[in-house]
Amino acid sequence: MIELKDLLSRLGGILLSEERKIEDIRRIISETIRVEIKSEEVKIKNGVIYLNIKPIYKNEIFLKQEQIFSKLREVFGKNSPNTIR
């Protein structure tokens, strides 16, 4: 039988890896467009990055989309997100 502490440690690792992934995505996008984005403004669901930012910043991201995805592929490999919305 699995002990509760073992289960919680596994779940904690999953949560930390998601936070790390969001932080890496935030950092890459912020460096590319040279505008600071908060971690709270980035969400990931089913390989899609959802950004809750001003439309002018989203336009800049879509203009530099290839550069962003190139950097994401370097960091995450085949598990990198494939769409930004």
Q: Please give the tally of structural domains in the chain.
A: 1
User: Residue 65 is part of which domain span?
Assistant: 4-84
Sign of CA dihedral 24, 30, 54, 67: negative
Which residue has 């550069």 as its token pair? 67
- pLDDT tens for each residue of 65-83: 999 999 999 988 888 888 9
pTM greater than 0.85 (yes/no): no
Query: Do residues 60 and 35 lie in contact, with contact meaning Cβ atoms separated by under 8 Å?
Result: yes
Q: In the chain, which residues have pLDDT < 50? A: none
The tally of CA atoms less than 13 A away on the side-chain side of residue 32 is: 22
